[in-house]
């Protein structure tokens, strides 16, 4: 049986990091494709904007964000979100 050297571990780490980066890129691509929908549920909006449920509720209550409530679920128009928060580009 061969001994494992520090160099072997470094190479393994680099392979693992590369694989993780590829998986994250794939997930981001799929997420962006999903996010192109016109109407978004609360969970998707919170995830995209990285805000809490309470922050989203406050935006609704204050009238800053239009919404539709359908069968107990809130839906937000993508266009309204882009107008309010911009397109996310800096």
Domain boundaries, the chain: 1-34, 37-90
Token output for 8: 């072997």
pLDDT of residue 90: 42
DSSP for 20-58, please give it. Answer: HHHHHHHHHHHHHHHTT-SEEEHHHHHHHHT--HHHHHH
| Per-residue pLDDT reduced to its tens digit, 13-60 | 999 999 999 988 887 766 656 655 688 999 999 998 899 999 999 999
pTM of the model: 0.52
Token output for 42: 């609360």
């Amino acid at each position: 049986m061969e001994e494992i050297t520090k160099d072997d571990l470094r190479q393994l780490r680099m392979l693992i990091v590369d694989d993780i980066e590829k998986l994250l890129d794939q997930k981001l691509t799929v997420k962006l494709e999903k996010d192109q929908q016109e109407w978004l549920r609360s969970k998707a909006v919170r995830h995209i904007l990285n805000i809490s449920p309470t922050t989203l509720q406050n935006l609704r209550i204050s009238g800053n964000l239009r919404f539709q409530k359908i069968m107990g679920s809130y839906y937000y128009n993508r266009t309204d979100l882009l107008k309010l928060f911009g397109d996310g580009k800096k």
